[in-house]
Chain A
Amino acid sequence: MRSGWGRQVGQYVLLLVFTLLINFALPRAMPGSPLAYLAGEDVGLLTPEQRTEILSRHGLHEPLWKQFALFVHNLTRGDLGHSYRQGRPVAEIIAERLPWTLLLATTALIIQTMLGVWLGARAAWSRGTRLDVWLMSTFMLFRSMPSFWIAMILLAVFGAQLGWFPMFGAFRPWAGHTGPAHILDILRHLFLPALSLILLGAAETFMTMRYAMLSVLGENYITVARAKGLAERDVLYRHAGRNALLPVATVFMLSLGFSVSGATVIETVFAYPGLGRLMYEAVLSRDYPVLQASFLTITLAVIVANLLADTLYAFLDPRVRI
């Protein structure tokens, strides 16, 4: 186990280095002056003072290795650069946006896992029946749909036509809600974006749970449990379900990272003020420093999530700990 864990950590360190290298290399490898990419393509509008400030901040007149050292040094101080579009430090913008993405991604992840596990167990139990076939084809269909399109349809139907849910944003800033009303407002804004993520994400868990259950159901201890006269419910959830959960835990771990990046497109549709929407806005306005910082933050979130999951997994499966 120790070597396995070390391997994982090595993998994440490699990922981090790779991310840093990409962020460092992209503005400098592009044709034209890196100034354009570091400032966000508004070189013409910059005052001479700002221009010298950028040059010295990134050490652009220094040799490459010194530039890289400076780049890493700036990052470790929490300095993610400056968005000349928005006229403020990138770190400040990221800090505003990150909590919303985390809220959306974790909510969706938890619900989609529970839903997928429950339906997957049901489907496996009654395999070959109409329920099973129906569930399978529905989830297959959802998996073939573009996530942003599901989101747009939900928005059009439940937001615009029926008016049940708000159309954009994470809360209503001018309503002046406080306390429980504010929380309710946030939840109402969260509903449709989370639902879009869940419809997609649950498919993966469902398929895995169903597959795992099918292989567990053939085991001898299930036959024994049945022979003992246990109620079907108990056999299903206590005996089969528990053992089928391990592969689901793996999917859960893989989805941790995926949810954060999957939220990118969904946030864009709902104008949800998370990191994904931020990336979209940055693409449209060619705000490269913000793009880079968002990518770095998402990668860091994925690494932290994976490390957490690896540690948790060792508790779940005693065999990993040996």
Chain B
Amino acid sequence: MTSLARALSGSRQGWLGLIILVSLLFGALMAPWLSPYAPSERVARPFQPPSRHHLLGTNDIGQDILSEIIWGSRASLGTGVVTALAATTVGTAVGIAAGYYGGWVDGLFMRIVDLFLVIPFLPLMILLAAYAGPSFHHLMLVMVFLMWARPARIIRSQVLTLKSWTYVESARAAGARAGYIMRYHILPGVLSLVVAQLVMTASLAILIEASLSFLGLGDPVQKSWGSILFYAHSRSAFLTGAWVWWILPPGLLITLTVMGFALTGFALDTVLNPRLRATGITYPTRKKEEKPLTPAP
């Protein structure tokens, strides 16, 4: 993991991504102190343009939009990160098991993975979320259910190469149990890939949460950036000048968050994936002599 941190620090994109993420996280944590009003309080007349008291104006029921957005970052970031953590954990477990055991276990798991990769993603999510009812827990469950497949497939292929390495074979020859080998020999070897997948999944999860909330499937009590846009759209904010302060800011923040995750992810991927380095699709790194990460024996 220390080598992972070192790898990131050598990349300008990685730094930029990290800075974006840390400042957004800071904003989310400091929401009670940063936001001028309580997000659910009706503090002024509805549909006010920006003013000294309400920097981004007020929404359709007179809530302060700036406060809504600052508090919304908790819902958006939280859903994205928790979903990504859960989906990557499931994906890692499946990937390691399938790759290590091979045979029918691998065949079965990969069939299921393929199924989840071809399925029309968003329509199924809408269907499931509609049945489950609007709440963040349901939304996250549905997202995890549909997002574990991609990390599983990628991690499995890495496990396949790791499995034939001599240190794994010698551990097996020494009589180590499968569980032990997977825990102490395979997992450390894929850990950096897992982190990269985690970051990528988080950026995707934030976009999907936004889409689902925009379709009215978000939590009506705790608004995320997506649900702010849902209300802005259903009150036709795009017809008037209101789109500048009601639609533009939440979308920009979603874009910024996704960029933050993507930049970090690309930086990790460039360092971790030797094939990308060889073919010239490198994102410029400061230190040229940086070596690709090799699994620590």
Contacts and interface: CB of A to CB of B under 8 A. Distances in A.
Interface of A: 11-12, 14-15, 18-19, 22, 26-27, 30, 37, 127, 140-141, 143-149, 152-153, 155-156, 159-160, 167, 211, 214-215, 257-258, 260-262, 264-265, 268-269, 279-280, 282-284, 286, 288, 291-292, 294-295, 298-299, 302, 306
B259 A291 contact: no
A264 B126 contact: yes
A156 B214 contact: no
A258 B117 CA distance: 11
Interface stretch (B48-56, B90-98, B247-255): B247-255
Q: Which 7 A-B pairs have the closest CB atoms?
A: A149-B251, A156-B238, A144-B258, A156-B243, A261-B120, A144-B259, A261-B122
A295 B124 contact: yes
Interface of A is mostly: helix
B126 A153 contact: no
Nearest to A217: B280
B281 interface: yes
A11 B115 contact: yes
Nearest to B217: A283
A264 B238 contact: no
A143 B255 CA distance: 9
Nearest to B254: A146
Interface size class of B (residues with CB under 8 A): 35 or more
Contact of A306 (B118, B124, B243, B279): B118
Nearest to A297: B123
A260 B124 CA distance: 12
B262 A302 contact: no
B119 A299 contact: yes
B239 A288 contact: no
Contact of A141 (B207, B251, B255, B281): B255
Contacts of A156: 238, 243, 247
A159 B236 CA distance: 12
A278 to B, nearest CB: 11
Contacts of A298: 120, 123
A266 B131 CA distance: 22
Nearest to A37: B131
Most chain-B CB neighbours within 10 Å: which of A148, A211, A269, A306?
A148
Contacts of A288: 130-131
19 contacts: A15-B115, A22-B124, A141-B259, A143-B262, A144-B259, A148-B210, A148-B214, A149-B250, A149-B251, A149-B255, A152-B232, A152-B238, A214-B279, A265-B215, A280-B216, A288-B131, A292-B127, A295-B123, A306-B118
Contact of A14 (B111, B131, B238, B254): B111
B207 A291 contact: no
Contact of A11 (B118, B124, B262): B118
Contact of A269 (B118, B233, B258): B233
B121 interface: yes
B31 interface: no
A106 to B, nearest CB: 16
A214 B281 contact: yes
B211 interface: yes
A153 B248 contact: yes
Given A15-B118, A302-B120, 15 more contacts: A11-B115, A11-B118, A30-B131, A146-B210, A146-B254, A214-B279, A257-B120, A261-B120, A279-B126, A286-B130, A291-B127, A292-B127, A295-B124, A298-B123, A299-B120
Interface string B184-210: 000000000000000000010001001
A144 B131 contact: no
Contacts of A211: 279, 281
B229 interface: yes
B239 A146 contact: no
